[in-house]
């Protein structure tokens, strides 16, 4: 938890310190996520619908090269039936991406910007609801890890102040923290729209 606060504080400091040399962008999009659990030679997958909204601030390091710290809220949901009872899983996360990018100008109004970098994620809540009962994913007795580091890569197409971006993220940290025999990792694509301010 302290790591997440430290990362968020660093991003906030960068936002404040570099306003004259940075470009703020408001973003929203679709980001489904898969949880792949491996036990021995067997792997099972749980697929979630995901959505996000956030803000990034792209700082110019050199001509065409930038670094874009940001912060976003993301929500994963999944509905399914267990013994005829409708069950819904909901996970809410705070993501802190730190993406290095290179802008390639096509003409005066159009550019393509590939990006790559880490994204630090912290699950602020997770709940499974089945009928009138609910179960919280995280807590002192939970085996689930609320922290993750993702490798993120993709590209953005920018036209004037608008941008369309897409990419992929790979979770690097095992989300099953108490078992040496079970490994759970995340992955998923994302696509979104942004507006440069």
114 bridge partner residues: 155
Q: What is the pLDDT of residues 90-121, one digit of tens each?
A: 999 999 999 999 999 889 889 999 999 999 99
- C-alpha 65/C-alpha 83 separation (Å) is 54
- Domain membership of residue 13 as a residue range: 2-196
Of residues 22 and 31, more confidently modeled: 31
Q: What is the CATH number of the domain that holds 159?
A: 2.40.160.20
CB 173 within 8 A of CB 145: yes
**Number of domains, the chain:** 1
* Tokens standing for residue 75: 């929500």
Q: What is the pLDDT of residues 128-162, one digit of tens each?
A: 999 889 999 998 888 899 999 999 999 999 998 99
Pick the closest to residue 174 from 6, 35, 51 (CA basis).
35
CB 124 within 8 A of CB 81: no
- C-alpha 70/C-alpha 24 separation (Å) is 9
């Amino acid at each position: 938890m302290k790591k997440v606060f430290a990362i968020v504080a660093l991003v906030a400091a960068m936002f404040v310190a570099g306003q004259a040399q940075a470009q703020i962008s408001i973003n929203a999009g679709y980001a489904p996520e898969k949880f792949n659990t491996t036990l021995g030679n067997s792997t099972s997958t749980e697929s979630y619908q995901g959505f996000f909204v956030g803000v990034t601030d792209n700082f110019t390091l050199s001509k065409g090269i930038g670094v874009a710290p940001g912060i976003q809220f993301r929500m994963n949901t999944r509905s399914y039936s267990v013994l005829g009872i409708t069950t819904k899983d909901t996970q809410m996360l705070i993501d802190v991406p730190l993406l290095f990018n290179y802008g390639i100008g096509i003409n005066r109004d159009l550019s393509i910007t590939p990006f790559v970098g880490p994204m630090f994620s912290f699950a602020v809540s997770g709940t499974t609801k089945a009928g009138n009962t609910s179960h919280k994913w995280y807590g002192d007795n939970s085996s689930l890890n609320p922290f993750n580091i993702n490798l993120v890569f993709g590209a953005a197409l920018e036209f004037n102040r608008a941008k369309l971006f897409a990419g992929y993220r790979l979770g690097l940290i095992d989300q099953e923290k108490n078992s040496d025999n079970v490994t759970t990792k995340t992955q998923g694509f994302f696509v979104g729209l942004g507006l440069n301010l």
